[in-house]
Structure 1
Amino acid sequence: MSSKADYFARYEAIAAVSERMLCAARDSHWNDLIGLQDEYRILVDALKAADGGIRLTVAERARKFELIRQILADDAAIRDLASPCMARLSALFAGTAQPSRVLQELYGAR
């Protein structure tokens, strides 16, 4: 990785996408959330690939941990918002649910 500025820019980009994901989940914009998950994954993979040997001061470590804390808090909030939807989907697809009933339940299809 070229510099500490690049290193922190990567973490800040992940935190920004994480915040946008939380906003999408709060607004029940699940398709937007899926697209943002792809962007998030790409950023995390790029950070993993570039993370190499950056030595951080105590203050820089604190900054890094605050960004990680924010990302994890957003993730937990997203999971809390998505859990009821996932439970409904599981219940709809479990057992003998008719596909047309599942669609009606999910989308209000008639």
Structure 2
Amino acid sequence: MTCALPGWKSARPPPNHNNDLGPLSTMIFATDNNGAIMKLYAAIANQSQVMLDSAKAGNWDELCAAEEQCSKLIHELQAIKEAQQTELNEKERSQHIGYLKKILADDAAIRDITEPRLKQLEEFLRAANNSQKLSNSYGSN
């Protein structure tokens, strides 16, 4: 339940990473689109904060709604990216990396909150399923 950019397997960087975000850190899009791209990254970063705040508050409905909005923003970003690619200038690259780091950090924090809760729900459902099987097998009194 996290806002991760497609193709990213984990929000956590590998140990001893050197802050190199690979092709995402330098490759971007037509200069005319860079302003729109940066606004979308800012919106995604803001949405990831909403998701994190929702997860911290245990507001799962709000988290899901924010995740949906984040997904829409990511699809919009992908559509613009497909148009044309070029290099970012130094200021844009720095800003871009900052957004990516924030999104990844928020995603990791959201996972830290949601994964234990998902395990609790899984255990609850397993127990309920076992109870139902026993009831079906032996009948309820």
Q: In 2, distance between residues paired with 1:64 and 1:12?
A: 9
Instruction: Give aligned-pair identity as a percent.
Output: 30
Counterpart of 1:76 in 2: which secondary structure?
Answer: helix
CA distance in 2, matches of 1:92, 1:25: 20
Partner of 1:5: 35
8 Å Cα contact 1:4/1:54 also seen in 2? no
Structure 1 or 2: larger strand share?
A: 2
The size of the alignment, in residue pairs, is 98
Cα RMSD of the aligned pairs, angstroms, is 1.5
Runs of 4+ in 1 over 4 A off after TM superposition: none
Matched, 1:22 2:22: no
- Of 68, 83, 89 in structure 1, the residue corresponding to residue 121 of structure 2 is 89
TM-score, reference length from structure 1: 0.82
Aligned to 1:105: none
1:59 aligns with 2:91: yes
Question: Using the alignment, how far apart are the partners of 1:33 and 1:85 within structure 2?
Answer: 13
Q: Which residue of 2 aligns with 1:34?
A: 64
Structure having greater relative contact order (Cα 8 Å, sep ≥ 6)? 2
* Per-residue deviation, 1:40: 0.5
Q: Which has the larger radius of gyration?
A: 2
More helix by share: 1
Question: What stretches of structure 1 of length at least 5 have no aligned partner?
Answer: 99-110
Measured after TM superposition, the shift of residue 59 of structure 1 is: 2.7
1:89 is displaced (CA, Å) by 0.6
Aligned to 1:70: 102
Cα deviation, residue 57, structure 1: 1.4
